Amino acid sequence: MTWSKTLFCGTMMCAIVALGQTEAKFNAATALVAVPNFGVELHIAPYYTVQMDALGSFWDSVGEDRDPYHVNETFVEVRRYQHPQNTGWFGGMHIGFGMFTIQKTNALVLYDQYQDPSTYSDAAGSFQSGRAGFYGVTLGRKHELSARWALEAFIGGGLVQSNYKGYQGFNRVDVLPGDPRAFNKSGEWALYRGGLMVVYRLKH
């Protein structure tokens, strides 16, 4: 990230905190497996909030096959809560962007332009690397512990649109040798968000 982008993000975060009741949160569930997930939620009206959060995984190898699990994801979400204090059950709609180097699942694949989904994870050393857009919904519940603290359980998913390259070791397997296509394309339904957020109100 460049200095200009860092300054822009910092300025935006300060503006968000200054506007109204704001909550900072981190995902205790993903933290247990060393995958940080942090967010900021801005209360814009009774029942309604806007949230921005980011997740990152930096594991070079996981599981028996020692597959890579590098993921970064950023989401913006609009939520509607059960109570005007923005607590209780909630539903949200979000969009997101991410980059990944993982062994993709072949479940619920809608299409793949060039690679047979059954070959996504058929051998050790098989993985996919690329970019993804996320379009989906989130469901959850926020429970107040005190005037400042709360817990939030949530799960979310939807449509994932990916541009990626498929590898077996260092060899491309999603296109034929000499094929000029830089990226493959795929779409799938997936659950890609969830956990238990520990919430702290910065401004009440």
Residues 6+ apart with CB under 8 A from 106: 117, 118, 120, 121
pLDDT at residue number 16: 52
Whether residue 118 contacts residue 72, with contact meaning beta carbons closer than 8 Å, is answered with: no
Which of 159 and 65 is assigned the larger pLDDT?
Answer: 159
CATH number at residue 114: 2.40.160.20
User: Cα–Cα distance between 133 and 110 in angstroms, integer?
Assistant: 15
Is the pLDDT confidence value at 121 over 80?
Answer: no
Which of 202 and 76 is assigned the larger pLDDT?
Answer: 76
Mean pLDDT over each residue of the chain, to the nearest integer: 84
User: Domain count of the chain?
Assistant: 1
Residues 6+ apart with CB under 8 A from 110: 159, 186, 187, 188, 189
**Domain that residue 147 falls in:** 3-203
Q: Is the pTM of this model over 0.95?
A: no
